[in-house]
Amino acid sequence: MSEPRKITLDDVDRILNEHPTLGEYGYNHPDADTAEELDISRRRLRRQVADIQSAYDWLLTLHPLPDGGLWPTSYSLKHDGERSGKIGYVTNGAMIVAALLAQLPMRLDPPNPAVRVALTAPRPTPPADGFTA
């Protein structure tokens, strides 16, 4: 996971260059079926640097997911952050760019990649001779 920092348009452009099918609503989204629609979607995403920053800062507060856990998708994380009140409305594409910039482990399953983070800290392992609630 990365350290806190300021996200720039250059950062967003780098991610978009590395991920040519990523648009405002995720990868290979039906609202961006044509080259023209995808270009419009990507231009909109480039205007969301402040939203990407907000999502990035929030993602850095989350916890690594233990092995074997169910990975949340970028879309579910977007809604979790919005419901928590920690971030305002962000697009799925903004959440994906933020997760990529935060260098979080991801499975790039279109349109909503899975991100290996948990909203809560993992429970401690109970001692072999004791009980924890």
**pLDDT at residue 133 in the model:** 59
| Ranges of each domain in the chain | 9-118
Contacts of 62 (CB under 8 A, 6+ apart): 117, 118, 119
Contacts of 87 (CB under 8 A, 6+ apart): 51, 54, 55, 58, 81
The sign of the CA dihedral 100, 43, 89, 7 is: positive
pLDDT at 130 over 80: no
Q: What is the pLDDT of residues 77-111, one digit of tens each?
A: 999 999 999 999 999 999 999 999 999 999 888 88
**pLDDT at residue 36 in the model:** 92
